[in-house]
Amino acid sequence: MPKHSLLALLMAGAVFAPAAAIAQAVPIGNPVAGAELYQYECAACHQIGEDAEHRIGPHLNRIFDRRAGSHAEFRYSEALARQGRDGLHWDFVRLDAYIENPRSLVSGTNMAYPGLEDPVERADLIAFIRAFSDQPQNIPEAAPTAFAPEVRLPPEVLAIEGDPEYGAFLSAECTTCHQRSGAHAGIPGIVGWPEEDFVVAMHAYKKRLRPHEVMQNLAQRLDDEEIAALAAYFAKLGRD
Amino acid sequence: MKLNRRVFLGTASAAAAALSAPAVMGQARPRVVVIGGGSGGGTAARYLATDSDGALDVTLIEPSRMYYTCYFSNLYMGGFWDFDKLGHDYGNMALRGVNIIHDWAMAVDRDAQTVTLGSGGKVSYDRLVVSPGIDFVDGAVPGWDVSKQSLMPHAYKSGTQAQLLKAQVENMREGGTYCMVAPPNPYRCPPGPYERISMVAHVLSERNPTAKILIVDPKENFSKQGLFEEGWQTHYPGMVERIGPDFGGDRVEVRPDEMEVIIDGMVEKVDVCNVIPAQKAGKIAELAGLTNDAGWAPVKPEDMRSLMDDNVFVLGDASQQGAMPKSGFSANSQAKVVSNVIRGELTGSRVFPARYSNTCWSLIATNDGVKVGASYEPGAEQIESVSSFISQTGEDAELRRQTFEESIGWYNGIVADIFG
């Protein structure tokens, strides 16, 4: 399930994937940015960290994997308590939905918060909050700390050196929609991507792991060399 | 005389030539030394030797001639596993080409790339794998140290300590109290103390049903808590009491000679006391300068390479890698990654991206097995958990029996993978 929201984030243009190693776990978000956001967005009502106590809202230590409305000593809205009894547990997907719009997940919640629209900001915030819940090294069943890399490519595929000239030829098919200038409106920009990210993304379409029928179909007939060539071309286009 | 002299000179110059010859000449195989023959080091040594097909000179330094697994030692205490089946020797590993040295690694000179043995000799390495398991933090439980481990066993390194604790439980006075002082995080085998409680409860419920079990725990919660608590309620109702940090479980000291446990100032008389102290990396990791202030050896997430030294890898419980629990399964999984990387560096074989995984099975009662597991991926800073699963409360008996049988299959599999 986290995969889906990750894909949603990637679709929304939020790519955190570090360029260094490709089979690398993808972080939930940036916890440092999240800490700052927490101060603005959450801290007035929710304490977190050592000695955190319930205030207007319950403290958020060990929120991950917790059943909603389960601090016996905190007075929740009946709506939230009922959702908890119905089995709502807090994980990345539910927290993300709740922070985006509390009332859409729990209509009747007491949480008077308008919601946080930006998926990247939400991910950062959740990455910060995650650190105050159980850690898998101590509790192996605890919520994941990152997302799986979306596609695993053998190193020799990643090592293919793309031929940018061939890529320039192939790119004609792409630039029908993706502008050479890198401008993006409605269609994401693809100019200047790190080559490995580009290769991984194209293979993810080819394997139909990334959702988008047009891209999935286009990727089908590209072989490993051609994907590398395109990656080289668009990366170079970004540098020129 | 002249002839001898000539022969001597001839030999000497040939030896000098051999010394200056590059490793590609073939005589001098690259050397890998592995410290510690448990699930991490044992797996690494075996895989390095067999997969490199003799291209690597692999030496394992392990003081014990017989390795007793910590995993399944709880089942032994519960009467579900034979002691002999916990023990494994290094014969097969030697046959597979590993040079086994039964000695202690006393020191590591990382500049000279040598390991000093207890007997005084030195072994040199091109790559070093350090997998010493855990040691206990001095003074972690006031009143307890290893000189008191006969009175209050830890039984957290298997072998004789497990035998001792089992005997103490079986011989406890009728209606007596078994107390466990549980460790703080992080420690090896997160569900281990609670599986042990289950096994002790199993023995007591059959032999000594009015006995009590007291857990003094510095942690707010623990792995598989819901499953264990459900199981204790079902199989051993009223027998197990746990005191968490909110009631002083984190403020405990012991008086082994009096068999007393002092919890937040209150003195409890107990009959058997199992003290599992706070843990740190095995001593040699610290002596080698591989540990941090927390007492663990930090490593890179993609290949378990020490942050302190590119020629050194640390495996298993001693390492600080991120999200993987300290377990035999984790160590075995990490060892395969390290073996692949070292072979690549020293012999030019192909190196593949790290794949890490772990599953921990626990037995709660006869045929009542549960498990927890996860898969892991290297992240930028540490190994991350990317998905996890756990047995559910309320599962039917058939599934629990199947899970228990699966755990036996796993045990036989992993020990064959290392020692077979």
Task: Say if the Cβ atoms of B379 and A148 lie within 8 Å.
Answer: no
Q: Which of B220, B224, B377 sits opposite A146 (nearest CB)?
A: B377
Task: Say if the Cβ atoms of A21 and B185 lie within 8 Å.
Answer: no
Report pLDDT digits (tens) over A106-119. Answer: 889 999 999 999 98
From chain B, the residues in CB contact with A138 under 8 A are 185-186, 190, 219, 223, 325
Q: Is B189 left (phi over 0), alpha (psi -120 to 50) or beta?
A: left
Q: Is A139 on the interface with B (CB under 8 A)?
A: yes
Tell me which residues of chain B have a C-beta less than 8 Å from any C-beta of chain A: 185-186, 190, 219-224, 302, 322-326, 350-354, 358, 360, 372-380, 383-390
Q: What does pLDDT average to over chain B?
A: 93
Q: Closest Cα to residue A193, out of A149, A237, A240?
A: A237
Q: Does pLDDT of B55 surpass 60?
A: yes
Identify each DSSP E strand in chain A by its residue range: 26-27, 146-147
Q: Which of B372, B377, B383 sits opposite A149 (nearest CB)?
A: B377
Task: Say if the Cβ atoms of B380 and A27 lie within 8 Å.
Answer: yes
Q: What does pLDDT average to over chain A?
A: 86
Q: Does pLDDT of B2 surpass 80?
A: no
Residue A156 CB partners (closer than 8 Å, separation 6+): none
What residues of chain A, 46 to 65, have a C-beta less than 8 Å from chain B? 62
Per-residue b or e along B265-274, where b marks 16 or more CB atoms closer than 10 Å to that residue's CB: eeebebbbbb
Per-residue b or e along A165-188, where b marks 16 or more CB atoms closer than 10 Å to that residue's CB: ebbbebbeebeeebeeeeeeeeee
Report pLDDT digits (tens) over A210-239. Answer: 777 788 888 988 999 999 999 999 999 888
Q: Does pLDDT of B144 surpass 90?
A: yes
ipTM of the complex: 0.77
From chain B, the residues in CB contact with A24 under 8 A are 302, 377-380
* DSSP state at residue B327: S
From chain A, the residues in CB contact with B372 under 8 A are 140-141
Task: Say if the Cβ atoms of B379 and A27 lie within 8 Å.
Answer: yes
Q: Does pLDDT of B404 surpass 70?
A: yes
pTM over 0.95: no
Task: Say if the Cβ atoms of B389 and A141 lie within 8 Å.
Answer: yes
- Give the mean pLDDT of A130-143: 96
Q: Which of B220, B377, B388 sits opposite A141 (nearest CB)?
A: B388
Q: Is A166 left (phi over 0), alpha (psi -120 to 50) or beta?
A: alpha
- Give the mean pLDDT of B274-300: 98
